[in-house]
Amino acid sequence: MIKTKFTELFGIEKPIVQGGMQNIGWPKFASLVSNAGGMGTINVTCWSTPAEFDDGVREMRDLTDKPFIVNISLVPDLTKGPEIMKYIEVCAKYQVAAIEFAGADPSEFMPACKQAGIKIIHKSPNAHVAKRMWEKGADVITIAGYEVAGHPSLDGIGTFVIANKVAAECGCPVLAAGGVADGKGLAAALALGASGVVMGTRFVATEECPISQNHKDWILSHGEKDTVIVQKSIRNAIRVSNNMAAKLTAEMEKRGTTLQELMTVIAGRISRQCYQNGNVDGGLFAVSPAMGLIQDIKPVARLMDDMIAEAEAVVADIQSHIV
């Protein structure tokens, strides 16, 4: 067993978090991670309205009595405070353990979370933001290295450096995200001072993940060089698989395009459809270079058990060399 400040804060067994993956963070999947001793995350973008989200949280509560996380991404200039408060009210109603905020500054929503007893996790793109959010009252910082799938900071600082820096500067538990796919990555994160890890791509490559087998097989047949960052032209950079949709997006951005034209390729509804129908090239598919470390598809619970066993073995091996 591995105890950290993060596991003790939430009373869980394993310092492993399933990231808030868009169109994948559904209750039936996220609950498996929580039931296996880590913390699963459901994503508010999976539901269209707060009322539908209420049904989703209730489903999550029916599937697990363990702590879980709700991911809320705040989009600059688009996020509407009253609407976000409705989602927070649902979380308070069901005594959700934590909300992970990403994107814009969540300061206006933090008092409501604190009042409801909801822990605040902030997904930070760099050390400056991480320290500022800790000082504002975040209970946990998820620091996303450049390797992360989805939306990385274009500062280009890798997980190995940024997790080390943030863990030293912030007095709260820090979770390392980006490029972690096994127990060796977990052990490395702990050695850097982090209290746990957040994984996305590795959880996609599990038997229960609600995505097509074609997408899982794509991960197994590709490696660390097969990702690309697109959407820079609209200031919403995202790391995805270098599939045909990504190539088309990059080509459109290179020649000059409009958001309206880009949306015919990058819209979330397109990716959601492709995740179900198995068309890997039809929409953007967020993955990280961690693909190069993934050799198999296994059940969620076994993956997490294997990670803990491997991390413990790594630590024991290191200790055996210390004289």
Q: Domains in the chain, please, with CATH?
A: 5-208+299-320 (3.20.20.70), 213-289 (no CATH)
Residue 211 near residue 275 (C-beta atoms within 8 A): yes
**Mean residue pLDDT across the chain:** 95
The answer on pLDDT for 48 being more than 70 is yes
What pLDDT is stored for residue 63 in this prediction?
A: 98
Helix orientation angle between 244-255 and 259-266, rounded to the nearest 10 degrees: 170
**What would the pLDDT profile of 187-212 be if each residue is shown by its tens digit?**
999 999 999 999 999 999 999 999 99
Distance, CA of 205 to CA of 211 (rounded, Å): 9
The label of the residue with tokens 């210390």 reads: 322
**pLDDT value of residue 76:** 65
DSSP state of 102: E
Q: What pTM, to 2 d.p., does this model score?
A: 0.95
Q: What is the pLDDT of residue 1?
A: 85
Taking only the tens place, the pLDDT of each residue in 159-195 is 999 999 999 999 999 999 999 999 999 999 999 999 9
H or E segment at 161?
helix 159-169
Position 235 scores a pLDDT of 87
Q: What percent of the chain has pLDDT over 70?
A: 99
CB 18 within 8 A of CB 33: yes
281 or 1: which carries more pLDDT confidence? 281
> For 218-227, what is each residue's pLDDT tens digit?
999 999 999 9
